[in-house]
Amino acid sequence: STLMPFLMLSIFCPVLRIFGLGIVIVFLVMAAQYENYLDPLIIMLTVPLAILGALLATKLRGFSNDVYTQIGFVMLIGMASKNAILIVEFANQLREKGLSISKAVVAASAARLRPISMTALATIIGAFPLAIATGAGAASRQSLGTVIIGGMIVATVLSLFVVPVLYITIKTIEDRVRRGLYKPKPALAGAGVDGNADSHSGASSEGSMNGEVHSESQENGGGNRDLHGKPKQEGEEQKPSNKE
């Protein structure tokens, strides 16, 4: 009775580690490409949609969660992400041209509908022979093909609705946070302007006072000079003129 849970744990633990490592690697690669963490977060949130579709398709066909099914889950990480990448990338380009968040993502979803549909349809058609495989080892190929087809169908349909909602929500929060962090404080800005004006007026008044003092000193100094411009000495009497 204890052997079966031990075997299940020994099988699924490595698979969970591999699946988690795949998500981390894809996230880091996209973070380096976009130079932020919000766009990769929006893209990676579409991966659970693909996993949900794969689980539903596997359940409908009555397949077990074997190794080939788990390999299909890992493949869906990259396959499901590419649809969201097309929408997010084009929405960012439209925002750089001046469009709002909601208008940019709606226009991006409409513009990228055809490329997303074409790539998803090509992937589904390519995996269809695996889903209907016959002969020796057909069960493994059928499991892999079923996971890919189910995951791509659900991820393609739902990503056209989920990605715009996630984009609007996350980008709106980002803009509000940025405006809150970089918004100038009116009190400090006004105080700085008033302080500069006061200092400028004070400097002007001080300069005018210095000018008045200098002019008064020149007037006082002018009375103590003789006809040749030399300062008079104390007690010096004016010499009488030779002319009579």
pLDDT at 243: 43
Rounded mean pLDDT for each run of 10 residues along the chain, 244 residues in total? 54 71 88 89 89 89 82 86 90 91 92 90 90 83 90 90 92 87 56 47 49 48 48 48 43
pLDDT at 244: 38
In whole angstroms, give the CA distance from residue 100 to residue 86.
18
Token digits of residue 195:
């302080």
Burial class (CB in 10 A: 0-12, 13-18, 19+), 143: buried
pLDDT at 88: 92
pLDDT at 35: 86
List, in order of start, the domains of the chain with CATH numbers.
Answer: 3-176 (1.20.1640.10)
What global pTM score does this model have? 0.65
**Straight-line distance from the first to the last Cα atom of the chain, in angstroms, rounded to the nearest whole number:** 148
